[in-house]
Amino acid sequence: MPREELRLDKHSAYFNLVESFSSGCCPICILKKNWSDKFIQTMLYESVNDKFFRSRLAKTAGFCNIHSWRIASFNNAMSTAILFKDRLDKIIVSLSDTKITIQKNLKPCLLCDNEETAESHYINVMASSISEESFWEKFEQSAGLCYNHLVFLLKIVAKSQKKRIIDFQKKRFSELSENLSLFIDKFDYRNRNAVITEDEKKLWKDAISVISKINGVV
């Protein structure tokens, strides 16, 4: 799969960002995940028999744990078998009587690499668009960024934008923290009749997403 196929222009990235503001979680996390899902789909349904792609994959140390199991979740038995057999055959060759020859200079997981490219592209578009009032107003309606992506954005955004980003994020993190306190209190024996709402039931997972990115995002 030539990387060019997954290249994103600034225009599409801008609209993807705005669209992801209504996802209820960190827009960069969601876009990063969608990006690798698209990559996996193309890989499993189109690129698996492409010699160029297979030789590119052979120069890597295979897929990491998170991405291997994400690939598995697509349930494409034949393509997944082909891709992982390639890796297995290389491992077999690396085993001799008494030792394993570890191949050096292997590239990292292709999906980690692609997610990183998507992440930095989206964050850069975000940093350059955030001074536009219409973009900001839409971002303000979102759940905000996770901690990791906030740190990333603050590293590259113009100094003039930092204060309002931090104010907004602080507000979102404080709302979550207050809701977590109310939720935790409901487990106190004195509040045993308290009703836990559907939104409250997912609060502890929201806290994980905000601190460690959403599930499945490296």
Q: List residues binding Zn ion (CB under 5 A).
A: 26, 28-29, 64, 67, 109, 111-112, 146, 149, 213
Q: Tell me how far, at minimum, the Cβ of 92 lies from Zn ion, in Å.
A: 23
Which two tokens mark 157? 């955004």
Comparison of 66 and 194: residue with beta carbon closer to Zn ion? 66
C-beta of 124 vs 194, nearer to Zn ion: 124
By three-state DSSP, how is residue 131 classified?
Answer: coil
Looking at the Cβ atoms of 121 and 149, the one nearer to Zn ion is 149
Smallest gap from residue 146 Cβ to Zn ion (A) = 3
Tell me how far apart the alpha carbons of residues 131 and 129 are, in angstroms, rounded to a whole number.
Answer: 6
Residue reference for tokens 């990559």:
39
CB-wise, 64 or 194, nearer to Zn ion? 64
Minimum CB–partner distance for residue 128 and Zn ion (Å)? 18
| Residues 124, 13: Cα–Cα separation, whole Å | 10
Choose between 58 and 64: whose C-beta lies nearer to Zn ion: 64
108: left (phi over 0), alpha (psi -120 to 50) or beta: beta
CA distance 3 to 13: 16
Which of these, 173, 172, 197, 177, lies nearest to 186 by C-alpha position?
197
* Separation of first and last alpha carbons in the chain: 21
95: β partners? 100
Q: Could you tell me the smallest distance in angstroms from the CB atom of residue 214 to Zn ion?
A: 7
Q: Give least dist CB 190 to Zn ion, A.
A: 37
